[in-house]
């Protein structure tokens, strides 16, 4: 099912800038679609046209099959969650009041609103007892961003638009937030359109990646592995190519079938084993590369179940290339 469809959409700003020339794009129900591309290529414009913060010059936008190009824009925005970088939290309202913005507009009663706000804060790892009554200036950048995401999710909108939602967070916090958001997304099944210029973020989070070039031109729309291993154009290759191998490793996990048996007399530091079945392939690869023997023992639970070496890493990589990222095929 298609959640959002752009049909020959064009946006020309009053000064003549053609931000998006002629975009046709379908976002599937329940998927997380990431829009990536260089600065100024039309990503935010595209996103903002979906909830009519920006009016398209021509073309049609369908939401769940309904043409929303002419419906009431304010009503439309209440049906679509929207999370933007840095902006948007009301400074003179508490965390609780910020998250409750849309429920209030929709006339939810007090109890339902309070319950929902509590749930969302918990979901975002912000203990309500500590955070509900604080004001935005009493939060860290990352916490503010979580509140922004909670607010976007407040009414369980079928569609969530996110523009650089994790931008203000330091790299470590950012990876954590991303992982958390991926988990949340797989639980709630909201259709998400996420704009980022961080290719790592796009391939880590997305079911599919849309690579844009100037003028809202769609260079490639594909799953993350395909974008990394089979860039459709020079523009895509320029964007993803340099660190493609590292990024690919970042998508993989270590599985039992990647391992070999411990050889007779092989001396491995099993007492210091850190690589686990189901663990990150990029971390496993680093461990292999740093090991003196070129091989590391691998744990499943607390049992050593085999050895990962260079050949095993290649097997794991081959699997991602052939089959894609397993936990993300659910939405497709
Ligand atoms: N209100 C406006 N009036 C005129 N031109 C605009 C307006 N908003 C955006 N633009 C132009 O439209 C083009 C696309 O802008 P947009 O904000 O969609 O880019 P972006 O891909 O989100 O970039 P970034 O990664 O820097 O956020 C740019 O050339 C920009 O200067
Ligand atoms: Mg932008």
Which bound ligand lies closest to the C-alpha atom of 42? 1
Cβ of residue 216 lying under 6 Å from some atom of ligand 1:
no
CA-closest candidate to residue 228, choices 23, 5, 34: 34
Cβ of residue 250 lying under 6 Å from some atom of ligand 1:
no
Q: Which residue's entry shows tokens 């992982």?
A: 179
* CA end-to-end distance (rounded Å), the chain: 10
Structural domain spans, the chain: 2-240, 256-323
Query: Reading across the β-sheet that carries 2-12, which strands appear in turn?
Result: 18-28, 2-12, 58-63, 66-67
Supply the residue whose CA is at minimum distance from atom 11 of ligand 1: 19
- pLDDT the model gives residue 249: 87
Cβ of residue 13 lying under 6 Å from some atom of ligand 1:
yes
Helix (H) / strand (E) element for 83: namely strand 80-84
pLDDT string in tens for the chain (332-residue length): 899 999 999 999 999 999 999 999 999 999 999 999 999 999 999 999 998 889 999 999 999 888 988 888 888 887 888 877 665 789 999 999 999 988 888 888 999 999 999 988 988 888 999 999 999 999 988 888 889 888 888 888 888 899 988 876 777 777 777 877 888 888 788 899 999 988 888 998 899 999 999 999 999 999 999 899 889 999 999 988 878 888 888 888 899 999 988 877 777 776 666 899 988 898 899 888 888 888 898 988 888 888 999 999 999 888 888 877 766 644 44
- Given the CA of residue 42, which atom of ligand 1 is nearest to it? 18
- pLDDT the model gives residue 250: 86
CA 207 to CA 228: how far, in whole Å? Answer: 13
pTM of the model: 0.85
The fold of the 256-323 domain, in CATH, is: CBS domain Like (3.90.1280)
What count of other Cβ atoms lies within 10 Å of the Cβ of residue 159? 20
- pLDDT the model gives residue 165: 83
Q: What is the CA radius of gyration of the chain?
A: 22
CA 237 to CA 230: how far, in whole Å? Answer: 8
Cβ of residue 86 lying under 6 Å from some atom of ligand 1:
no
Q: Are 131 and 90 in contact (CB under 8 A)?
A: no
Which bound ligand lies closest to the C-alpha atom of 16? 1
Q: For a pocket test of ligand 1, which of 16, 36, 41 has the largest count of ligand atoms closer than 8 A to its C-beta? A: 41
- pLDDT the model gives residue 328: 61
Distance 7 CA to ligand 2 centre (A): 21
Distance 19 CA to ligand 1 centre (A): 6
Supply the residue whose CA is at minimum distance from atom 28 of ligand 1: 40
Supply the residue whose CA is at minimum distance from atom 22 of ligand 1: 44
**Class of the 2-240 domain?**
alpha beta
CA 57 to CA 149: how far, in whole Å? Answer: 29
- pLDDT the model gives residue 326: 66
Cβ of residue 197 lying under 6 Å from some atom of ligand 1:
yes
């Amino acid at each position: 099912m298609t959640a959002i469809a752009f049909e020959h959409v064009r946006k020309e700003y009053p000064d003549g800038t053609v931000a998006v020339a002629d975009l046709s794009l379908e976002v599937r129900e329940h998927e997380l679609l990431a829009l990536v591309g260089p600065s100024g290529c039309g990503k935010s414009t595209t996103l903002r046209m979906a909830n009519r913060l920006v009016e398209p010059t021509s073309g049609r936008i369908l939401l769940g099959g309904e043409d929303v190009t002419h419906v009431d824009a304010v009503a439309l925005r209440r049906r679509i969650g929207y999370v933007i970088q840095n902006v948007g939290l009301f400074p003179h309202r508490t965390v609780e009041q910020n998250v409750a913005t849309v429920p209030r507009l929709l006339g939810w009663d007090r109890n339902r609103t309070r319950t929902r706000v509590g749930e969302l804060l918990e979901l975002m790892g912000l203990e309500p007892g500590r955070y509900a009554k604080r004001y935005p200036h009493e939060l860290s950048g990352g916490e503010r961003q979580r509140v922004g995401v909670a607010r976007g999710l407040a009414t369980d909108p079928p569609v969530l638009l996110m523009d650089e939602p994790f931008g203000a967070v330091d790299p470590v916090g950012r990876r954590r937030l991303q992982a958390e958001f991926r988990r949340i997304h797989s639980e709630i099944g909201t259709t998400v359109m996420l704009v980022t210029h961080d290719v790592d973020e796009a391939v880590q989070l997305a079911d599919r990646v849309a690579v844009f070039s100037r003028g809202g031109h769609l260079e490639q729309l594909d799953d993350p592995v395909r974008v990394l291993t089979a860039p459709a154009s020079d523009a895509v290759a320029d964007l993803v190519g340099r660190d493609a191998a590292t990024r690919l490793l970042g998508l993989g996990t270590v599985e039992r079938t990647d391992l070999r048996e411990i050889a007779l007399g092989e001396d491995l530091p099993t007492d210091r084993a850190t690589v686990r079945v189901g663990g990150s392939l990029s971390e496993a690869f680093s461990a292999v590369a740093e090991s003196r023997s070129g091989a590391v023992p691998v744990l499943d639970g607390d049992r050593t179940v085999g050895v990962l070496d260079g050949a095993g890493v290649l097997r794991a990589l081959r699997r991602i290339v052939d089959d894609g990222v397993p936990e993300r095929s659910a939405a497709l």
